[in-house]
Amino acid sequence: MEHKNLTLDYDQNLINNILDNIDMRYIIIFLYIIRNDLFKDLTDTSLIESYERVLVLDDIYKNNVVNFWDEEFIEVYIDLGLIKNIRSVREFQQKDDDFILKLGEETITIEKDTISVPDDTLFLIINKKFKFLTRRNFNLALTRLKGVRCEKSSIIHSLIFEIGEHDYTLSDDFYYILDQYGNVYQAIKIEITIEGFYQRFNEIHEKVNRFIKIFEPILNTKPIMKKITKAIEADKDIIQYLKDEKVELSDKFNFDKIDKHESTYQQWITELLELLKIRYQMEQFDKKLIDLKSYYSGKNKKFSYLEFIEKVSFNEDGIVDHIQNSLIDHRKELVRINEQISKLTEKELKLLNLDYERLIIMSGDD
């Protein structure tokens, strides 16, 4: 029998490759969620009718939505960011009944049993969850998904379909394949949580590096960072270790003529060493986060994304419990590190460095 439709038997490797690409994965996953979790695969006609009754209104008030839509629909709709002036269900609940909701100039429509999602709307849904997704990569992914060459035959698989000029819908083949694996929405929520946490971690990590750069830019270069790690792990004096390793440091690290009892020197060296040690802690922390991400992505990923969906859906091997408990522990650790960093500001550290440089000049004149 000639192979025409997308199937797991023939196309599992192709499907895994598509889902490994984050830009294509998010397009596929969120088109699925819109169809499955928001519109229940168009099996509930009353839900569709109530949705369309609200869309035709000139002004949409909170009261209209509450009267026509059920709580689950409202929750998913808000979570997807489809109400532009509402960020959460809690915020929605706090609004008065006459509060006007903004759905945007374009929104999801349903015609002839087909869900049409404008490309701008889809991008905003994804970008709300994953800030690193660029419009350029999103557009390239859309183009590719419209026609992917089969690995087993000469046919082209359309994984999404373009409706009109700018609207898209997920292919039935891909929809029903994903549907076999369980709770896709839960899987992407876990990924969103991990990626959001990792983004916050990176923000703090970058802040630490900015602070260290104020003291000495060379300390942020990879070769020197490796030497700093070795010094910390060997419990050695970091600066002396770098000197022993013939690292060319600036004159600020020539301590011979400086009075070590000077408060400016003591504060300068204490702050610097503390920052270097915090960065080391964050590098170890980074390995733990990468291990969490490896459940679904990265060079050493443990499962294909389809397997990840399946395992999360049924909490196989306690995967959901492990991820949740790990994130709780990691959050405590990140809060502790952030509390240390929050005591410092770039302005204060720059002033400290100016004071220290002034001390060096004065010490040289003696």
Out of 180, 209, 240, a domain closes at 180
pLDDT at site 364? 65
pLDDT at site 22? 94
pTM of the model: 0.89
Q: What does the pLDDT look like over 307-350, one tens digit per residue?
A: 999 999 999 999 999 999 999 999 999 999 999 999 999 999 99
pLDDT at site 77? 97
pLDDT at site 11? 93
Query: What H or E segment, with its residue span, contains residue 243?
Result: helix 238-244
23 and 152 within one domain: yes
Tell the residue number behind the tokens 């408990």, with chain if given. 325
Residue 176, domain extent: 8-180
pLDDT at site 216? 95
216 and 240 within one domain: yes
163 and 223 within one domain: no
Q: In a 3-state reduction of DSSP, which class is residue 221?
A: coil
95 and 14 within one domain: yes
Out of 155, 180, 205, a domain closes at 180
Q: Is 3 within a domain?
A: no
Q: Quick one: CA torsion of 16, 18, 21, 22, rounded to 10 degrees?
A: -100
* Contact (Cβ atoms closer than 8 angstroms) between residue 9 and residue 35: no
Out of 162, 180, 198, a domain closes at 180
pLDDT at site 366? 54
171 and 29 within one domain: yes
167 and 281 within one domain: no
Query: CB neighbours of 191 closer than 8 A, spacing ≥ 6?
Result: 296
For the beta carbon of residue 194, count every other beta carbon within 10 angstroms: 20
Intervals of the chain under pLDDT 70: 1-2, 364-366
40 and 92 within one domain: yes
Buried residues in 9-21 as b, exposed as e (16+ CB within 10 A): ebbeebbeebbee
Q: Is 1 within a domain?
A: no
Number of domains in the chain: 2
